[in-house]
Chain A
Amino acid sequence: MSNTTLISILIMSMLINNVVLSQFLGICPFLGVSKKVDTASGMGAAVIFVITLASIICGLIYHFILHPLGLDYLNTIVFILVIASLVQFVEMFLKKMMPSLYKALGVYLPLITTNCAVLGAVLLNVQNEYNVIQGIVNGIATSVGFAISIIILAGLREKMQYNRVPKAVQGFPFTMFTASLMAIAFCGFSGLK
């Protein structure tokens, strides 16, 4: 495992295979919580926090418990339970120990439980046969990619809030068109491969 592979994992997961715009994970918060830059960055920060923790813990569980015992088929169940309880635990821990951080992230934590980006990042770690360190780097890169794209979308939506839009396109389709243009822009990163 050399540094180049870690850096290439970072670039791959963050920009080229952007979790939202090319893998379509975490679409729900991407469309739902992207009206204002403030809330979007809060959501992005919370996702970075949770995915990083989840990829550490799930990586350890997979490499030291599930895989050695040949329990690979339990991956999905174990991971989703770990993520759900992790989110609950993080919420309680932050509430008690770091109230200021809890205030900044607290609103978004319950929403993350079924954010498919979290489970997706962890499952991709297993599928790509990353070791623990590579998995953590992949998790961080994935979540940073999510934060980047949701903040860009929120910025665009704030700018276009008062644009005159045909009635049928208003709301959801308009956001989808915006996301489509963003995805085209992110296609440009595939030249980095």
Chain B
Amino acid sequence: MNLAENTPLERLFNGIVKENPTLVIVLGMCPTLAVTTSAMNGIGMGLSTTVVLALANLFISLLRNVIPDDIRIPSFIVIIASFVTMVDMLMQAYTPDLYKSLGIYIPLIVVNCIIFGRAEAYAYKNKPLASFFDGIGMGLGFTLAITVMGFIRELIGSGAIFGNPIGSLPDYAPSIFVMAPGAFLVLAIMITIRAHIINTIEAKKGVRLPVTHTDEEGSECSSCAMRMSCAGKFQKVEAMMKADKEAKAAAAVKAAPAAKPAAAKPAAAKPAEMTVEEAVKEVKAAAKQAEAAASKTVEAAEPPKKAEDEAVKSEAPKEEAPKVEAPKVEAPKEEAPKEEAPKEEAPKVEAPKAEEVKAEAPEEPKAEEVKAEIPEAPKAEEAKAEIPEAPKADEAKDEADEAPAPMSALERLKAMKAADEAEKEANK
């Protein structure tokens, strides 16, 4: 069917078939579930919604140049509520039985998301005639869907068609279908069947059809009818909150270097006796450069390697390989003269390791882990508290690796000697 845009006929077709509010866009779930205990209820609800929808669309479209943009939502509410009140009173007067069975759901047409959605998405932007027919099309699409659903529920649940019992069928009808669980069940099955048909067609033709409810899976707003009028406000605000949290975490990370040099100083102070003071400066400079990397747990066994690691870390994000190599070559050279032979070997051995590390770049996953951990911690203070601990762990490692390692060898010798002496004494 090729129809010109925004003509009455095209609008009707669009509302009933192409963008059926209940089955395709999944809007206005509350009345769909609530009043479909019989086909007659469905027709009544659908037609009263259609009247409100068409008139509200018409008037909103007529007033679209008068209503200021900022207060359009309250204006829509007043216009819609006026028509709902009219329909409510008319039904009370002329169709009292239907009015009784629909009950509270007639005034609740005010908050029917279809009406808001069409007012916002169509009537506020288009000409009166097209808007009017858009309302009628959408309303009839809604009526059709809920009448079919009411028909199914009435037939299975109470064994009747439009209030006329079929033989002895009512005696065997499972009444759960006209009770609350049946509403969810029937709608779920209807949408499942529709999805299955669409999936089959897609598989046959090898194309994806537009607008299926499963397309939008994954967003919080996917099944919320308000998504048309709130325009993803929820997601925006949530994203803002997330960004806020991340900013806090980043602030905590930035605060960490301030704490870290302080923690790094004592760590570096002890090795300073053994290594060059420049190395310490490098450590500090690298620490300042690598603000983002500062929160990483530094696994450096010795200060030279620490300097290298941080240099790698600070420059790894930039992905400049030659620059990374330069400090590495320098670092061992500077330390070599003042250090003892065995320790000279150590950095040389570790230097290639650092290169390997660079090649594999395991720091980045670590950084991600740390980053991932920090946003989870709700308070920035906790994040701060966690970070200073890492340098402490480094200190401990440094001390354990540097000082105790040679000491332990000496101690072992001493212990051996002592044991020998003790044995000799014992022998004596």
Contact = CB atoms under 8 A, between A and B. Distances in A.
A169 B192 contact: yes
Interface in B187-234: 187-189, 191-193, 195-196, 199, 213-214, 217, 220-227, 229-230, 233-234
Interface residues of B, number: 60
Given A77-B78, A171-B214, A176 B224 contact: no
A24 B183 contact: yes
Secondary structure at the A interface, as helix, strand, loop or mixed, is helix
A173 B199 CA distance: 14
Chain B interface mostly = helix
A151 B338 CA distance: 66
B181 interface: yes
Given A81-B74, A177-B185, A168 B220 contact: no
A6 interface: no
A80 B192 contact: no
Contact of B230 (A77, A111, A120): A111
Contact of A172 (B84, B182, B223): B223
Contact of A111 (B73, B85, B226): B226
Contact of B33 (A24, A80, A108, A115): A24
Contacts of B418: none
B214 A115 contact: no
Contacts of A26: 30
A181 B185 CA distance: 9
B411 to A, nearest CB: 54
Nearest to B109: A76
Nearest to A113: B73
Nearest to B213: A172
B26 interface: yes
Nearest to B35: A24
A22 to B, nearest CB: 4
B110 A76 contact: yes
A31 B224 contact: yes
A27 B181 contact: no
Contact of B220 (A27, A39, A186): A39
Interface of B: 26, 29-31, 33-34, 73-74, 77-78, 81-82, 84-85, 88-89, 103-104, 107-108, 110-113, 116, 176, 179-185, 187-189, 191-193, 195-196, 199, 213-214, 217, 220-227, 229-230, 233-234, 237-238, 241
